[in-house]
Amino acid sequence: MSISRPRYPDIKHMLLTESDENVLVAQDRPGGPLEVARGVEGGTARLFQPPTWLWSRAGDVGWWVRDGWEGSLLDGGALRLEEWRREGRLNVVKTGPHRVVYRVDLPRGSVYVKHFLVPGLRSKLRQWLRRGKGRNEGRRAAELAAIGVPTITPIALGEQRKRSLLLENFLITHAIEGMVPLEVFVESRLPSWPADRRAAVRQKLARALGALTARLHDAGFLHSDFHPGNLLVLIDADEQPRFAIIDLDALRSCRNVGWNAARDNLALLNHYFWTRSLRADRHRFLRAYFEARREPPRDPRRFARDVESATRAWAERLWRRWGRRCTGDNKYFYTMQHGRAWGVAARDVDPALLRTLLANPNAPLRDEKSITLKTSRTTDVADTTLEIAGRPTRVIYKRFNKKQWFDPFLTWFRPSRAWQAWQAGQHLSARAAPTPRNLVFIARLRPFRRDPLFWYLPHETYLVTLKDEHAVTLLDYTMNILPALDVDARRGAIDRLTRALAALLRLLHERSLSDRDLKSSNILLVGDPAVEEPRLSLIDLVGVRLNHPLPRHRRVQNLARLQVSLGDVAGRTRTDALRFLRAYLPWGLSPWNDWKSLWRDVAAAGDAKRTRNEQRGRKLT
């Protein structure tokens, strides 16, 4: 098998497209000038067949390789994957059922290898009807280069065919050195910069991203997977951001991107920044987007509101899908049944550990090394250590006991308390609300002889969550630590906690979540309470509910329950309660919020709660 310059191979083995638009982006070196090359046969431009590219075939896989790279990438016409793996050059960047991405460090420079898989009939049909994903990415790379948008540079394409039908395929591209995914930059690098530099770069990012998006839309491109993971960024010496677009198989071309299509595409991108950026930065993005479009919208204000509404609707659908991950087998969780017990666990929980817990779920509670935190008729809670992700990890292990003989029967109509807390924890995590991470849920049945009525229904249920280190409940802090501070320190601590609590509750309500048992004993103060923005986290999530849109009476109940819980805090005044309400409302004490009516309703609900507890002889916490 030899590699040579092609006299174009037989059409049976040619992996070509028929469109005159199909061109190839070639690049002399990483970072060098872009060159659009065309291969012509009978007047038709054909992708991956310019004169400077080489054709080879090994078995049922055909390869087009840019001149000068064949020796580095192929051995006897086959890709050198196993050789690179043995030499330690091969690093898996991303893996999944439909695609595996490798990074390979070669003497000539680093390259990325995308291996597109076809695990089922649907993916095979997709390849036959829409051409290979690797070929599509190469085609889109050329089209983006034509409008001046930086993107990937293909250096090889491999396609497997059987009986002329396309199956697995490969695309090899230059690594774009110095660039990182935008989400990595925003979440990991930017926060560590000084505040003034961070603010300036954040504003430049918003403007540059708006201009780039406008260029795409004016050229008739819509990215159906438009999120920061598919945008690479580099901050140059002048603090100006430079972008490159990847994952081009998701790029779609149309004659004209109307404002409705643009709105939905912007909502995809805005979904990420909606919870991680300021409204001012999103406004800068839209202004730059409008200025860069050839024809601005007739009503920019209405368009901006429509983008926010579309973002909210898209986010709700996405969050609900993420919230269902914890209910079955997927790449985040797995299920297991052992004897009379059934469980769900996060993927970093070893299956052997889950099997042990299913066999004897009470063992961690009775372990002499465990610290008992609570024992009551309804729940038993222990602080213990389990092997998570290959290392000993402190966890909170909780058993929900049967309160009444008919409790199992009620699971016909509503989930058990442990399952409600398990599901609520996933909803909170999906919406980026702070809460300890879910690890394991277990439900155990009883033998028929012990419970002939409800033996087939769950009796005891268990929940395991990650323990927040250096954390104390807000109740313990306000009752035991806060009173010991001097007057000035106490006043500062109350002000900081007031703002943090308002931000937490506003976050929950904006994301359609409520907690009917929102009290100081169910809120953790994590880390140093003296920092400017204390970290709060929610625990004991049985009372958390998801409602969209969130009714007013649930907001009032949550506010009243928290207000009652904080009623005995030393040094806290009615003025602090008003400051809390001002920070909670999106427009402060604006008449638009009808804050006086909300204040009166919360006060009435708080009085009713105190009266009920006095009548029942229950202590307020």
**Residue-level pLDDT at 120:** 84
Q: Given a cut of 70, is residue 426 above it in pLDDT?
A: yes
Give 536's strand partners: 525
Tell me the residue length of the chain. 621
Tell me, which fold does domain 180-323 have in CATH? Transferase(Phosphotransferase); domain 1 (1.10.510)
CA–CA gap between residue 127 and residue 124 (Å, rounded): 5
Percent of the chain at pLDDT exceeding 70: 90
What are 222's two structure tokens? 């819509």
Tell me the HSE value of 381 on the side-chain side, using a 13 A CA sphere: 12
Q: How confident is the model at residue 18 (pLDDT cuts 50, 70, 90)?
A: very low
Q: What is the mean pLDDT of the chain?
A: 85
**pTM (two decimals):** 0.79
Alpha-carbon 93 to chain mean position: 17
Quickly state the pLDDT bin for 13 (edges 50, 70, 90).
Answer: very low
Res. 38 pLDDT band, cuts 50 70 90: very low
The residue type found at 444 is R
Question: 471-528: per-residue pLDDT in tens?
Answer: 999 999 999 999 999 999 999 999 999 999 999 999 999 999 999 999 999 999 999 9
Beta strands 90-95; 99-106: pairing state:
antiparallel
DSSP 468: P
DSSP letter assigned to residue 231:
E
354: pLDDT strictly greater than 60: yes
pLDDT at site 464: 96
Where in the chain are the domains?
A: 24-174, 180-323, 330-466, 471-616
> Is 471-616 the same fold as 180-323?
yes
CA separation (Å) from 476 to 142, 278, 482, 530, 540? Answer: 62, 34, 9, 16, 16
pLDDT in tens, 378-411: 889 999 999 998 899 999 999 998 777 677 777 7
User: What is the average pLDDT across 261-277?
Assistant: 89
Reported as a pLDDT band with limits 50, 70 and 90, residue 456 is low
User: What is the per-residue pLDDT for 67?
Assistant: 83
Q: Which long-range contacts (CB under 8 A, 24 or more apart) does 67-74 make?
A: 69/108, 69/155, 69/156, 70/3, 72/106, 72/107, 72/108, 73/111, 73/155, 73/156, 73/172, 74/3
- Per-residue pLDDT tens over the stretch 118-168: 888 888 887 777 778 888 898 899 889 888 899 999 999 999 888 888 888
Strand partners, 115: 100, 170
The pLDDT value recorded for residue 496 is 95
Q: How far apart, in whole angstroms, are the C-alpha atoms of residue 248 and residue 229?
A: 12
**CATH code of the domain made up of 471-616:** 1.10.510.10
**Homologous superfamily in CATH for domain 24-174:** Phosphorylase Kinase; domain 1 (3.30.200.20)
Model confidence at 620, in pLDDT bands (50, 70, 90)?
confident
